[in-house]
Structure 1
Amino acid sequence: MDVRVFGHVSPDPFLSAADVFTTEYDLSLPVRVHVRDDPEIRTWAAHYRSYHVLNISRQAATSVMARELALHEYSHMARFEEEHPSHVQSIEEALYLGLTGKAVEQRKLTHCYQIANHMKDIYADDITLSLAPATKLVAFLESQLAKAIANRPQPSPHPDSKPTVPGPDPEITAVNAAFALALLERHEIAATDHRLYDLAHAAADDAPTVDLENFKEKFRSLNEDPTPSEYRKSLVDVTRAYATNTGAPAAD
């Protein structure tokens, strides 16, 4: 596995992640790690004809999560190379199929892309969590959810006014919480009394139109090896449920 790091950071986390990854998997194409100055980018993978790119913020590249983040992105690259439906399905096509003729708020449409990424993450993490302990990932999910809840919009004293303090949208925070719980249960990596469950229910209380349990189940039960049509249906169902505010994914 060919990994080259561009940027003034230690290559050790990326090479260490590659060593772990190649115990069970490999990539046909080389990986170029590009360190970005934008702290908001964290990580994302891009795929080209002759190589993959792992984009990572300098902040993330020098954090204690650097190796785990790299391993996660290598897993995305592996899914892309194997043409797993979750990584080749057009999100735009799924949204068109699911939302044509429906009135959808722009913010919800934007959130649908995040939900689609959660579904891709489920399949990437099926690889990641088979290779490395989940301790850091669970702590990361917990801290991110706690931060989102603590920074949620504060209501205005006037019912018709906007929140006095803006913050993360409670509805997508609740879906993010469902995703976190789905990972815990799909891989049996934490007990049901873990603090993430309390945080998730707090997030759900802030978003009564989002059915936490149903979204969790939809993520948790994704077929490990779906056909393209099966995956497309799952993606259409979950994005339609969120965008149209039904509170739960459509029944199979």
Structure 2
Amino acid sequence: MNKREFFWGIGGVFVLLVLWELGSRVLASDILLPDPRKTLVTLVGLIGTQKFMKALGMSLVRILISMTIAIPVSLLIGIPSALNWRIRAFMRPFFLVIAATPVLSIILIAFIWFGQERTPIFSAFLMMFPILTSNIMAGIQSADPKLREVLDLYNLSELQRLRYLYIPSLLPYMIAGLHSALSLCWKVVVAAEVIVQPRFALGTGMQMAKAQLETIELIAWTIATVIMAGLTESVFLAIKKLFMYREGAL
């Protein structure tokens, strides 16, 4: 991000805060739309509590676990699907069912199967899996045909093809898929937490604040979640840039 984009972004944040302030004054009700300054004070106080830190830690752990499961499963399905039309045709109905099923239905069914603690993990995994698999398949199919002809000429084994041709082709696509899936993962995990309410979770904090009509605290929980999602995305982008730099340097 250059300086001009940064300052325009700051301007957008300022406009949002002004609109928020005007809206809170017009409505004149902390239940409908609290003052941004009160919300900031509540947010600062919330961040310093043990309850919030435990909730944040557990939500982050659930996201990391779901990603850790989704990556190898997507590779295991995506690579052979891209190389074999029979496997690709066989897997297509599964992808269509996942894409057509509402997230809320997935969360409720997963709650019956897995209980409070595992439902957010399974729900996020199921949402990430088609995205990562599709990107991996696209990466495999984008492999350089000229390089493929060279490998055919030298009669290399399938493992050697995978190492020298397909893995370098799919890595940029997989990283792009992870980037796309990360924000979705936060949304699905927190939504599942709101519904099933595990003991320590950002979504549970939101649900408790909503049940008590504590709109200020509800918005504070939401802002904290947005900030954490932005921070994790920034970390991922930094890792992505480092990876791309090393790839370019090699």
Shorter-chain TM range is under 0.3
Give the TM-score normalised by structure 2: 0.26
Greater share of helix residues, 1 or 2?
2
Higher strand share: 1
Considering Cα pairs closer than 8 Å and 6+ residues apart, tell me whether 1 or 2 has the greater RCO.
Answer: 2
Larger radius of gyration: 2
TM-score (norm. length: structure 1): 0.26
